[in-house]
Chains A and B, each alone.
Chain A
Amino acid sequence: MNMQLSRRQLLKLTGAGAAGSALGAFGFGGAEEAMAQAVRPFKLARATETRNTCPYCSVSCGMILYSLGDRSKNARSEIFHVEGDPDNPVNRGTLCPKGAGVLDFIRAKTRVKHPMYRAPGTAAFKQVSWDWAMDRIATLMKEDRDRNFIAANKDGVTVNRWTTTGFLAGCATSNEAGWLTWKVTRGLGLIQVDNQARI
């Protein structure tokens, strides 16, 4: 759900109309109007605006992400500007030095772009396919689960737990991803599950 008519678009529409009529009223016709039209329009004016939330601390400042690309099929969006969301009642449009720099996080050189694998004893990562990586991880997990799953404790009580693999959930995944993670980890029988709340 993006805003149907963004604030920028609204400004552009109303602003352009007012400027046009004002120019006319002051008698600047012809040449000036042509020149005004020739000025390169702001990139922001044709940007797509998306409401999002700052990924850092828990104030959850509202953010507006500006991207190029109109979301049509095969068009690739690229975020090029970030502003605080003035409608958000908590941050009221402000961002701190972290939030204001978030564009460089999205574009960080150290973003992981492909599945990478480091084999035992080696000194480098090498690129692998998703399919290979996920097959390998699933196989390793199943082997460990099959070998170490505890169906019943020493008193014969059904406990269905798996203690030799652990899972650290983070702090910036969404609630929805968190719920799916809970389902999957507990579904597999994992109990070594924790998140960033303690740290």
Chain B
Amino acid sequence: MTNSWTDIKNADIVLVMGGNAAEAHPCGFKWVAEAKAHNNARLVVVDPRFTRSAAVSDYYCPIRAGTDTAYLLGVINYLLTTGKYHAEYVKHFTNASYIVKDTFAFNPEEGLYSGYNAERRTYDRSSWDYEMGEDGFAVRDLTLEHPRSVFQLLKQHVSRYTPEMVERICGSPKDKFLKVCEYIGSTGNGEKSMTIMYALGWTQHSYGSQTIRTAGMLQLMLGNMGVPGGGVNALRGHSNVQGLTDIGLLSQSTPGYLAMPTDREPTLASHFANRDFRPLQANQISFWQNYNKFYVSLLKAMYGTAATKDNEFGYAWLPKIDKVYDTLQQFELMHQGQMNGYICQGFNPLLSVPNKNKMRAALSKLKFLVSIDPLETETARFWENHGEFNDIDSAKVQTEVFMLPSTCFAEDEGSFTNSSRTLNWRWKAADGPGESRTDTVIMADLFLRIRDLYAKNGGAVPEPIQNLDWNYVQARNPSPDELLRELNGKALADLKDPTDPTKILRRAGEQVDGFAQLRDDGSTMSGCWIYSGAYTEAGNMTARRDNTDPSGLGVHPKWGFAWPANRRVLYNRASSDPNGKPWSARKQYIHWNGSRWVGPDVPDYAPTLSPERAAGPFIMNAEGVSRLFARKLMAEGPFPEHYEPFESPVANVLHPKTPTNPAARVFKGDMEVFGTAKDFPYVATTYRLTEHFHYWTKHVKLNAIVQPEFFVEISPDLAREKGIQNGGWVRVFSNRGSVKAKAVVTKRIPVLKVDGKTVHTVGMPIHFGFIGETKKSFGVNTLTPFVGDANTQTPEYKAFLVDIEPLASGPAVS
């Protein structure tokens, strides 16, 4: 989230799209109710289903699953044609005025940008950038009239997304779409703000990142970034998925969103040289120029005293990546037989990753599989025959499988980071059952055993292992307290104040106060620079429990610790105009008081940088402004474009020759098992239920009682057409597999007219499997396609094709 849960109460319009917070995040959704009750806010819901969020909305508009980008581009077109956008904000705080290179082009008939290589399905992105002036800075035109200004290019780009075109693509009736536009457009004035709440309804598409980008662009057009009640807010679905992403547990990532080194960066110097964060305007500050300090501090946290200036702080020991090894790539390699071992730490890929039959075949090729989990998972029992729910011959599976008991949240201490980026410390209430151990003890044990084996017997390149810093009080049980201190970072030598060398900021051995004190000379260490400030000399900031809110704006500055720097609303300098005056009294947040930036939150800006310098408010970008044009940062184009899901019921009406994301990675064999509308005429989408959490609560008796079995939801029209009874058994099948379920016939599933064609949707909750308290089920991932977003590789779970037929009886239950 750019903002926070409690900030939602400041919104005037709440747009829930690509998520269903009332169902999946009920206790966070109370802040929407709060906004409605006390801020006269209106809730607008756009969703393929009439969801629980829609049920309490002020306005609901249906949409075909997977067409959100077109819808949002349509809204941007509406703002530009009606003038209902925040013109001053767009002019000064976005790159609307930047001039794009004349080699950049978009072909609307082909649906392709300049630089496409069809064979490799990738772009040469060199033309997707600004024209640079002779002074070394990017060229701007503040009149926004230059034909190659981002503003004019955007205007031209979205002009195709008329209300009529939105109706043709999305199946959303024009009058309803325009009503939603009116609501959204009412906030483009600085007086009002809109928050956007989304979840996996946006991410789980082969173009999900671009949908979210479009939402960001929309909020920038309206001036809704950096203000109370604004922002683009990812609800996030798991208790610490924010934290584990912050910590960099993704193949290409490091703690604090620095980059893993690649083959092209054999030395630390070359890694740094590839990251040019020089400001693109004469007056600009570019925060990422501190990158080296964070990186060296991370290397010091990894390799301790073995990391020296002479060995580039142990950079050579860090593995270099040749490509991204996301989950889909991992299972593809496993399926090809190129992997031997796999460890799942609280993860159940047999149900979570698409195409279950491929998953099971892949796992069967492993030499060994380790599951570290409080619960028995389907993955840990993939080799076990469960009749038609998991039809496998155990005797043929040669994989050694280990199931290790770990403690659960109540039996361990440490911090979780919530969607508002706030770290909350939790305390241990009881020991775990049986012989269960904490994740830290298990990881320490594993590492120390391997290190001992290398010490005793030698082996391949033992140096990175031997030099890993392991300076914990109890080597076999590093305490969460020690680990959070390590994440925060400390001084390794006395840190002199750069502005006054007679002053010492921090003595050697003391915790740093924040990332501003980190150095690139090896005199500091910090595991994760954005968590710097979480555990200072003043103690564990994540354990703070002062819930006061002096401003009344839902800031709660002394509750836990929000990264970065305890900031609760990101980009908050943008809540004031270029002169530092609030855009409006109603949305006042951070402003310039003549000598510094002040307000209820930590300013997202240099605290004493005068507005007279005219530096932009988005200091994480070298431009100082936000990007309506993404330069080279997105795989499929600097502006979002509508592409159909890989399985779609209709042609792409804009460019039939390029119907789907041209830059999405599709593995051989997966392309072949995409189904077509001829064989599989219905759009399927998957989602959560309020009674269940992912694949855990099917183990939980109370939840299994209230929601005991898998079902699919269809409209009364489709039920009539197919002769399906409410409560009767059906078979749902895609080109990859087949599941049996009970049918729930409900008006909550709208029937849409898309370009003259009737489109039916089949809704399917996730949550069910063949282990636990709920009735045995197949897993919806039996049906889903094995393709991900072109930037993040998040699988396309929200829009694919199926067929459905009635069954006389259900599956045989053993």
Q: Is the CB of A161 within 8 A of B321?
A: yes
**Could you say which residues of chain B place their CB within 8 Å of the CB of A1?**
427, 543
* Complex: A167 Cα to B302 Cα, angstroms: 19
Q: Is the CB of A98 within 8 A of B461?
A: no
B728 to chain A, nearest CB (A): 27
A149 to chain B, nearest CB (A): 4
Q: Is the CB of B422 within 8 A of A60?
A: yes
Q: Is the CB of A191 within 8 A of B400?
A: no
* Complex: A94 Cα to B402 Cα, angstroms: 38
B231 at interface by CB-CB < 8 Å: no
B463 to chain A, nearest CB (A): 9
A111 at interface by CB-CB < 8 Å: yes
**Could you say which residues of chain B place their CB within 8 Å of the CB of A28?**
none
Q: Residue of B at shortest CB range from A192?
A: B325
Q: Is the CB of A170 within 8 A of B345?
A: yes
**Could you say which residues of chain A place their CB within 8 Å of the CB of B244?**
169-171, 173, 175, 178, 195-197
A122 to chain B, nearest CB (A): 7
**Could you say which residues of chain B place their CB within 8 Å of the CB of A167?**
342-343, 345
Q: Is the CB of A52 within 8 A of B427?
A: yes
Known A-B contacts A58-B419, A173-B244, A180-B483; the reply to A168 vs B344 at CB < 8 A is: yes
B583 at interface by CB-CB < 8 Å: no
Known A-B contacts A162-B319, A191-B319; the reply to A135 vs B449 at CB < 8 A is: yes
B623 at interface by CB-CB < 8 Å: no
CB-CB contacts of B255-279 with A at 8 A, as 1s and 0s?
1000010010010000000000000
A89 at interface by CB-CB < 8 Å: yes
* Complex: A118 Cα to B320 Cα, angstroms: 34
Q: Residues of B within 8 Å of A, CB-based: how many?
A: 166
Known A-B contacts A112-B405, A196-B244; the reply to A90 vs B437 at CB < 8 A is: no
Q: Is the CB of B341 within 8 A of A174?
A: no
Q: Is the CB of A65 within 8 A of B410?
A: yes
B243 at interface by CB-CB < 8 Å: yes
Q: Is the CB of A174 within 8 A of B400?
A: no
B147 at interface by CB-CB < 8 Å: no
B743 at interface by CB-CB < 8 Å: no
Q: Residue among A148, A161, A197 with the most chain B CB within 10 A?
A: A197
**Could you say which residues of chain A place their CB within 8 Å of the CB of B353?**
199
Q: Is the CB of A175 within 8 A of B696?
A: no
Partner of B434, one of A50, A89, A114, A194: A114
Q: Is the CB of A187 within 8 A of B465?
A: yes
Q: Is the CB of B250 within 8 A of A194?
A: yes
Partner of B345, one of A55, A168, A176: A168
B156 to chain A, nearest CB (A): 33
* Complex: A193 Cα to B251 Cα, angstroms: 5
* Complex: A173 Cα to B696 Cα, angstroms: 14
B585 at interface by CB-CB < 8 Å: no
Q: Residue of B at shortest CB range from A151?
A: B461
**Could you say which residues of chain A place their CB within 8 Å of the CB of B318?**
160, 186
Q: Is the CB of A106 within 8 A of B319?
A: no
Contact segment of B85-93, B438-446, B588-596: B438-446
Q: Is the CB of B236 within 8 A of A58?
A: yes
**Could you say which residues of chain A place their CB within 8 Å of the CB of B394?**
121-123
Known A-B contacts A114-B435, A122-B394, A164-B340; the reply to A134 vs B461 at CB < 8 A is: no
Q: Is the CB of B316 within 8 A of A158?
A: yes
**Could you say which residues of chain A place their CB within 8 Å of the CB of B330?**
166, 168, 192, 194
B288 to chain A, nearest CB (A): 21
**Could you say which residues of chain A place their CB within 8 Å of the CB of B247?**
175, 178-179, 182
A54 at interface by CB-CB < 8 Å: yes
A39 at interface by CB-CB < 8 Å: no
* Complex: A186 Cα to B255 Cα, angstroms: 11
Q: Residue among B238, B412, B549, B702 with the most chain A CB within 10 A?
A: B238
Q: Is the CB of A52 within 8 A of B409?
A: yes
Q: Is the CB of B412 within 8 A of A174?
A: yes
Q: Is the CB of B693 within 8 A of A57?
A: yes
Partner of B383, one of A104, A118, A184: A118
Q: Residue among A65, A76, A87 with the most chain B CB within 10 A?
A: A65
CB-CB contacts of B786-802 with A at 8 A, as 1s and 0s?
00100011110100000
**Could you say which residues of chain A place their CB within 8 Å of the CB of B26?**
94, 96-97
Q: Is the CB of A199 within 8 A of B794?
A: yes
Q: Is the CB of A59 within 8 A of B446?
A: no
Known A-B contacts A145-B460, A176-B484; the reply to A157 vs B266 at CB < 8 A is: yes
**Could you say which residues of chain B place their CB within 8 Å of the CB of A158?**
266, 316, 320
Q: Is the CB of A179 within 8 A of B487?
A: yes
Known A-B contacts A164-B339, A189-B464; the reply to A123 vs B395 at CB < 8 A is: yes
Q: Residues of A within 8 Å of B, CB-based: how many?
A: 122
**Could you say which residues of chain A place their CB within 8 Å of the CB of B322?**
153, 159, 161
* Complex: A136 Cα to B450 Cα, angstroms: 10
Partner of B255, one of A59, A91, A117, A179: A179
B348 to chain A, nearest CB (A): 9
A95 to chain B, nearest CB (A): 7
Secondary structure at chain A's binding surface: helix, strand, loop or mixed? mixed
* Complex: A166 Cα to B235 Cα, angstroms: 28
Partner of B414, one of A116, A175, A183: A175
Q: Is the CB of B249 within 8 A of A198?
A: no
B207 at interface by CB-CB < 8 Å: no
A7 at interface by CB-CB < 8 Å: no
* Complex: A185 Cα to B447 Cα, angstroms: 9
**Could you say which residues of chain A place their CB within 8 Å of the CB of B694?**
56
B30 at interface by CB-CB < 8 Å: yes
**Could you say which residues of chain A place their CB within 8 Å of the CB of B433?**
111, 113
**Could you say which residues of chain B place their CB within 8 Å of the CB of A193?**
249-251, 325
**Could you say which residues of chain B place their CB within 8 Å of the CB of A6?**
none
* Complex: A76 Cα to B430 Cα, angstroms: 7
**Could you say which residues of chain A place their CB within 8 Å of the CB of B450?**
138, 141-142, 145, 188
**Could you say which residues of chain A place their CB within 8 Å of the CB of B341?**
140-141, 144, 164-166
Q: Is the CB of B28 within 8 A of A90?
A: yes
* Complex: A114 Cα to B464 Cα, angstroms: 32
Considering the complex, which residues of chain A in the window 75-126 have a beta carbon less than 8 Å from any beta carbon of chain B?
Answer: 76-79, 84, 87-92, 94-102, 104-106, 108-123, 125
Q: Is the CB of A171 within 8 A of B240?
A: yes
**Could you say which residues of chain A place their CB within 8 Å of the CB of B27?**
59, 61, 84, 90-91, 94-96, 99
Q: Is the CB of B547 within 8 A of A88?
A: yes
CB-CB contacts of A34-57 with B at 8 A, as 1s and 0s?
000000000000001011111111
* Complex: A34 Cα to B89 Cα, angstroms: 73
B556 at interface by CB-CB < 8 Å: yes
* Complex: A67 Cα to B320 Cα, angstroms: 47
CB-CB contacts of B45-56 with A at 8 A, as 1s and 0s?
000000000000
B67 at interface by CB-CB < 8 Å: no
A31 at interface by CB-CB < 8 Å: no
B690 at interface by CB-CB < 8 Å: yes
Q: Is the CB of B700 within 8 A of A117?
A: no
**Could you say which residues of chain B place their CB within 8 Å of the CB of A164?**
338-341
**Could you say which residues of chain B place their CB within 8 Å of the CB of A141?**
341, 446, 450
Known A-B contacts A116-B402, A179-B528, A182-B248; the reply to A58 vs B460 at CB < 8 A is: no
Interfacial residues, chain A to chain B (CB-CB below 8 A)? 1-2, 48, 50-62, 65, 67, 69, 76-79, 84, 87-92, 94-102, 104-106, 108-123, 125, 130, 133-142, 144-149, 151, 153, 155, 157-199
Instruction: For the complex of A and B, list the 5 residue pairs with the smallest distance between their C-beta atoms, beginning with the closest.
Output: A170-B346, A113-B434, A174-B414, A171-B238, A60-B418
Q: Given A54-B409, A97-B706, A115-B402, 16 more contacts at CB 8 Å?
A: A1-B427, A51-B427, A59-B235, A98-B691, A98-B697, A120-B398, A121-B396, A149-B460, A166-B343, A169-B346, A170-B346, A175-B243, A175-B244, A175-B531, A180-B478, A191-B251
26 A-B contacts, Cβ less than 8 Å apart? A53-B239, A58-B240, A59-B418, A60-B418, A61-B27, A69-B430, A79-B430, A106-B430, A110-B376, A111-B433, A112-B436, A115-B405, A137-B368, A148-B340, A159-B263, A170-B244, A170-B373, A174-B416, A174-B439, A175-B244, A175-B414, A182-B527, A188-B450, A192-B325, A192-B330, A196-B347
